[in-house]
Each structure stands twice: as structure tokens, then as C-alpha cells.
């Protein structure tokens, strides 16, 4: 599988990453998916301390223990479970970020984290203090590199200008082209890469199309698309682009066509689903004509909030 460099780091990540949030707590089933992904060329595994109260990190770490030096493990911190674990609060303080990293290391059963990410971020945070935590963790050898997971252009802008992040994880897909207006140009200018989450838009951009639509999507649509718009758009895209390849392939190749994107992170609740995604990521890239067709059919609306330069 193709691997792309993450920012100015020495991390080369597979173009398909395994998003581990959807693996569940059945260790045997989850381990089979993780090991199959590795055997088929995936080297990037994305988890977080928030997922299943840390159980996810334990499963990921144990499954990858024997191949630790051949994989890139990414995890996240910033969401702090309240006592009783009925909810969580945002905590980007230096003390918490540093402690969270050490607790993640214990659960993962490893000496270092390849990519440690801030799991969100606001303009109200003490950003310099948060950056200091990441820099100290790097100096102390607990993490190799750090990034953020955010869809807020103004927050991303602050970390680009004030820190040494190598990546930004953000939602990006055919149905969510918001990053193209502000975030992606900023990252491209500064040599920082995108790790794209949600490239299949909750299953809407697979061959299942609207069969995967939740009750919420049927009632409220998806982002800037009403349900009636989706009923017209998705079948039209599939008819024009997915004759000789799957809609999943079209969707992942659209995201990968942007040179700022290093990896598309997708979840998998079964080995079969994983294999479908791997086949899709290894399909032929889209032509310029196909990319333009998608852009002509879809919306390029920017973010309504958290702008770098509010309109």
C-alpha cells in the first residue's frame, strides 16, 4: 500500500488508516481486524483515550505488540472523563495532557506514541501551555510527533503558527468540502498534512448510498445537504463515476487526490468491510475530469463558524 510522509516528520503513513473507534470491546474480533489490516498493508492505527474508556487503547496496543516497530500508533487526549464516567469535560491544561499521555502509554503497553493528538481545541484554551505539554513530552521521549484533531480553522491557524504540529485530523469528504476554503490552503503552505476522517460520510458515500442513512439524516439531511438533495446527488454521482469501481473507491480517491491528505482513516466493524476499504484505496486515482465533475456536482461551502477571518 502507498505510504505518504506526515508533515516534516519521518512518519510514512499508509494511505488507508484504521480508525479503531468502531472496533468495539470484543477483543478477539477487534484483534482479527487489526491484524488483517496490518497483513494487508495498513501501518497507521488511530485510537484515543476516550474510546470505550481506554479499553480501545489496550486492545490496539496488545494486537500490535509483536509488530510495534513496523506500525504508527496515533492516539489523542483532551477529553477528560468525569467521575463515574457518565460524561467528559474538555481539559487542555499542561498537567492533564502530560498525565493523559502517560496513562495512554500504559494502556497501549508501549514506550512511546508515534503521533499524539489534541482531541479538539478551542480559542479559549491556554494554547501556549498546551503546546508546551506536547513539546515536553517529545523532549522526554514519550511521543515522537504531535498534531491536533480539529475542524476549527481559527484553532488550526493558531497551532500552525505557534507549534510544530505535523498533522491535522479533520473531516473531509465529497459531502464535506469545507476544509478546502481555509484550512487546507493554510496547511499546504506550511507543509502540514491532513489525516482525513469521515471520508465515507457515515456510509452515505459507499455503494449502499441512502440505505445507510440514519433517521437523523432522513430528517435533517447531512451537513449542508437536505435529504431531498442527497436523493438526487448520490445516485447521480454513482451513475457517472462508479461503473467500473465502487462508490467507496470513488469517495476515497477523491480525498486522496488532494496532495495535502496523507491518509484516509476509516473504521471497520468486520474483516469484510476492512477488505472492501483496502480494495478501494488501491484502485485507480480519479482523472482530472472526474474530480472536476465531483466538484461541479457538490458544494464547496466553507465553515460557518470558527473562521480565521470571520465574514
- Assigned domain for 240 exists: no
Number of structural domains the chain divides into: 1
Q: Looking at residue 12, what is its pLDDT?
A: 98
Q: Looking at residue 79, what is its pLDDT?
A: 82
Q: Looking at residue 53, what is its pLDDT?
A: 76
In degrees to the nearest 10, what's the CA dihedral of 119, 123, 260, 240? Answer: 80
The parent domain of residue 129 ranges over: 3-200+255-285
Q: Looking at residue 90, what is its pLDDT?
A: 82
Beta partners for residue 222, in sequence order: 225
- Assigned domain for 68 exists: yes
Q: Looking at residue 311, what is its pLDDT?
A: 59
Cα gap 141→306, rounded to integer Å: 33
Q: Answer whether 74's CB lies under 8 Å from 115's CB.
A: yes
- Assigned domain for 237 exists: no
Q: Looking at residue 197, what is its pLDDT?
A: 96
Which residue among the candidates 44, 51, 142, 222 is catalytic per the annotation? Answer: 51
CA distance readout (Å), 294 to 225, 249, 289, 298: 15, 13, 9, 6
Question: Active site includes 51?
Answer: yes
- Assigned domain for 121 exists: yes
- Assigned domain for 52 exists: yes
Long-range contacts at 288-297 (CB < 8 A, ≥ 24 apart)? 290/241, 290/250, 291/254, 291/257, 293/240, 293/241, 294/174, 294/237, 294/241, 294/250, 294/254, 295/177, 297/233, 297/236, 297/237
- Assigned domain for 30 exists: yes
- Assigned domain for 114 exists: yes
In this prediction, the residues of the chain whose per-residue pLDDT falls under 50 are: none
- Assigned domain for 302 exists: no
Whichever domain contains 268, its CATH number is 3.20.20.100
Percent of the residues in the chain that have a pLDDT greater than 70, as a whole number? 98
For the chain, the first-to-last Cα distance in angstroms comes to 42
Amino acid at each position: 500500500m502507498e505510504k505518504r510522509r506526515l508533515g516534516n516528520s519521518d512518519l510514512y503513513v499508509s494511505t488507508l488508516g484504521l480508525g479503531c473507534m468502531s472496533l468495539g470491546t470484543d477483543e478477539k474480533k477487534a484483534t482479527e481486524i487489526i491484524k488483517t489490516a496490518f497483513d494487508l498493508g495498513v501501518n497507521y492505527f488511530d485510537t484515543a483515550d476516550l474510546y470505550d474508556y481506554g479499553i480501545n487503547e489496550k486492545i490496539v496496543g496488545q494486537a500490535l505488540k509483536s509488530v510495534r516497530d513496523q506500525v504508527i500508533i496515533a492516539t489523542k487526549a483532551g477529553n477528560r472523563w468525569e467521575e463515574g464516567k457518565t460524561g467528559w469535560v474538555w481539559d487542555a491544561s499542561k498537567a492533564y495532557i502530560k498525565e493523559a499521555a502517560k496513562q495512554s502509554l500504559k494502556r497501549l503497553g508501549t514506550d512511546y506514541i508515534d503521533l499524539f493528538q489534541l482531541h479538539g481545541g478551542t480559542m479559549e484554551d491556554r494554547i501556549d501551555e498546551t503546546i508546551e505539554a506536547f513539546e515536553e513530552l517529545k523532549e522526554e521521549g514519550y511521543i515522537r510527533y504531535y498534531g491536533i484533531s480539529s475542524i476549527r480553522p481559527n484553532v488550526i491557524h493558531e497551532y500552525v503558527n505557534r507549534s510544530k504540529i505535523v498533522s491535522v485530523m479533520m473531516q473531509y469528504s465529497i459531502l464535506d468540502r469545507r476544509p478546502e476554503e481555509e484550512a487546507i490552503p493554510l496547511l499546504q503552505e506550511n507543509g502540514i498534512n491532513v489525516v482525513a476522517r469521515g471520508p465515507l460520510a457515515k456510509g452515505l458515500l459507499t455503494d449502499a448510498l441512502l440505505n445507510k442513512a440514519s433517521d437523523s439524516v432522513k430528517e435533517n439531511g447531512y451537513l449542508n445537504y437536505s435529504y431531498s438533495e442527497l436523493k438526487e446527488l448520490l445516485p447521480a454521482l454513482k451513475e457517472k463515476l462508479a461503473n467500473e469501481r465502487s462508490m467507496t473507491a470513488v469517495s476515497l480517491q477523491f480525498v486522496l487526490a488532494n496532495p495535502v491528505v496523507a491518509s484516509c482513516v476509516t473504521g471497520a466493524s468486520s474483516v469484510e468491510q476492512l477488505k472492501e476499504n483496502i480494495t478501494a484505496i488501491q484502485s485507480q486515482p480519479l482523472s482530472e475530469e472526474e474530480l472536476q465533475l465531483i466538484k461541479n456536482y457538490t458544494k464547496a461551502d466553507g465553515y460557518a463558524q470558527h473562521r480565521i477571518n470571520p465574514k
